Structure 1
């Protein structure tokens, strides 16, 4: 049975769970593309600033889908290495550096497309809510959370409509607050919990971001 009609409904249900927390000076960071419509609803309900957070993985040379590191954007972009894998499968540092630079350039291209010339939001000392449309294994989310910790984020919350119970448990064991609408026992893929889970186009994402930017917000001290 599908829990959500679409990402917008999922965002409203997630916002209802987050509202009683009353986080101080929250910054909502959406993982594009799917996390953007969810995050727009959360930011509106919490009267919070919103930005996007891009994560690009660096794959093993002969197996690009096998992540050995990830690059995360922000005011101070960072690379998060999978040291456990790199200890067992050493990779030439020159390769990692080349891929890091290539992925950073792609992040800059995408940020310019989505956000124009606006600089990424500062995270130091703030309550950060990382929002996606759902989490299965959480590879990208883990990289994003690790980078935000290094950047001095205050309270760090992963907020999603749906998450694998195993992944939620692992993240909580690592000290991350996880807030989800549902943590279903029978979890195969995020899309199974949505009636409409279409692949978002860049135009849809940009329109949502522009709408969010135009929304009135209370000035927080």
Structure 2
């Protein structure tokens, strides 16, 4: 069982380590394959791009694939499924026309003027979050060959044993798990939340920016990796990204029931990274501590851990002098505000998304860092709590309401709006202004 697509991508990258020194382009299949491919590309130090394909679902049973479409006019059909479902030519044509329109729109959206990474004479490493029938993967392989790839490798975390053995198209298949009794890809993930178009664009932009920054700096790489942070005789886990040079870092405190692998927080982190900010996604408790639910709601304990993590960041030579921001979600927002209220707290800005600032209680008036409270318009109970909490803040503050959003910001476009608001707040309060040389 994979925790989520990030975990699957990291495990897959470890299996693909043999490709590190080869001329490889990593190609994610939108949408769900892109977060997996992003981790692979980052781990191996390779370029990331997409191959856009669309499943052709059987009429009246769209979850069953009767084929797939790919860029540049590629079409793959499944004759057995077409015969069993008795799909008429006119029905097939209607599905194709609809899916081709969606495919063309997504190609335009995902690339946004960004040129396709050249494949001529190179190895195309096609990555998805899993394989079911294999028709989508076959279409992607055909697209890669039409674009001149000398070799095509398909890499996925999970696939049915027969599909992994019989799939035609790639020169090589790398699959971590091939269960004999396969039902669906999502069964093999603890968190199989849908990946949005916005998330795909952010990941592609982040990968492109890091590649460009590395080239401009003479291939000096940013720091981007897992870290262990000592806290009171224990250690907590995190994932740190520091651009070179770094002038600001945002620490993420997630809510109860979540983790540093939260797709929502990782999405926000990528948006911040695109703006040149460093990020540290944290688990403020050890796995053993999380078993005690009292710890999860011990805001003082969580705030203390956040403060210790802040000192750890500022003690790093590559983060010396950085301005610090806190991004808190749910109960993590209370921990962020509690930590920001401590005397001498080195925090320059706080953002809460769907947070419970009320749980910081009488600490709120002591917060001096500019604070942005982001709440979904449909999250009425939490919205009222944020109104009350803002009334207790004496610092610069704003309450931003995202229309139509519920507590987890799962509605289309709502997380993107929340992330953009957080980015703008942190850039405004954290980024060091250029010196006046006039």
Smaller-chain TM-score range?
A: 0.7 to 0.9
Is the 1:23–1:127 Cα contact (8 Å) retained in structure 2? Answer: no
Question: Which residue of 128, 138, 143 maps to 1:142?
Answer: 138
Is the 2:153–2:171 Cα contact (8 Å) retained in structure 1? Answer: yes
Please state if 1:118 is matched with 2:114: yes
TM-score between both structures, scaled by the size of structure 2: 0.43
Cα separation, partners in 2 of 1:118 and 1:170, compared to 1, 3 Å = same
The structure showing larger relative contact order (alpha-carbon pairs under 8 Å, at least 6 residues apart) is 1
1:39 matched residue in structure 2: 37
Determine the C-alpha separation between the residues in 2 that align with 1:147 and 1:193: 28
Question: Which residue of 171, 191, 196 maps to 2:191?
Answer: 196
Determine the C-alpha separation between the residues in 2 that align with 1:78 and 1:23: 33
Is the 1:69–1:79 Cα contact (8 Å) retained in structure 2? Answer: no
2:160 matched residue in structure 1: 164
* DSSP-derived class of the 1:216 partner: helix
Is the 1:136–1:189 Cα contact (8 Å) retained in structure 2? Answer: yes
Determine the C-alpha separation between the residues in 2 that align with 1:189 and 1:86: 17
Aligned length: 212
Residues 124-133 or 149-158, more deviating: 149-158
2:126 matched residue in structure 1: 130
Is the 1:80–1:147 Cα contact (8 Å) retained in structure 2? Answer: no
Cα separation, partners in 2 of 1:23 and 1:140, compared to 1, 3 Å = farther
Determine the C-alpha separation between the residues in 2 that align with 1:188 and 1:66: 12
* DSSP-derived class of the 1:156 partner: strand
Task: Encode CA deviations 1:96-119: one digit per residue, 9 max, x unaligned.
Answer: 4x7656544422321232221123
Is the 1:11–1:42 Cα contact (8 Å) retained in structure 2? Answer: yes
Is the 1:59–1:68 Cα contact (8 Å) retained in structure 2? Answer: yes
Cα separation, partners in 2 of 1:107 and 1:17, compared to 1, 3 Å = same
Determine the C-alpha separation between the residues in 2 that align with 1:145 and 1:215: 26
Residues 23-32 or 61-70, more deviating: 61-70
Is the 2:155–2:173 Cα contact (8 Å) retained in structure 1? Answer: yes
1:185 matched residue in structure 2: 180
TM-score between both structures, scaled by the size of structure 1: 0.79
Q: CA offset at residue 9 of structure 1?
A: 1.1
Is the 2:77–2:135 Cα contact (8 Å) retained in structure 1? Answer: no
Which structure has the greater CA radius of gyration? 2
Root-mean-square deviation over aligned CA pairs: 3.0
1:70 matched residue in structure 2: 68
Structure 1: where are the runs of 5+ without partners? Answer: none
2:5 matched residue in structure 1: 7
Question: Which residue of 71, 76, 82 maps to 2:77?
Answer: 82
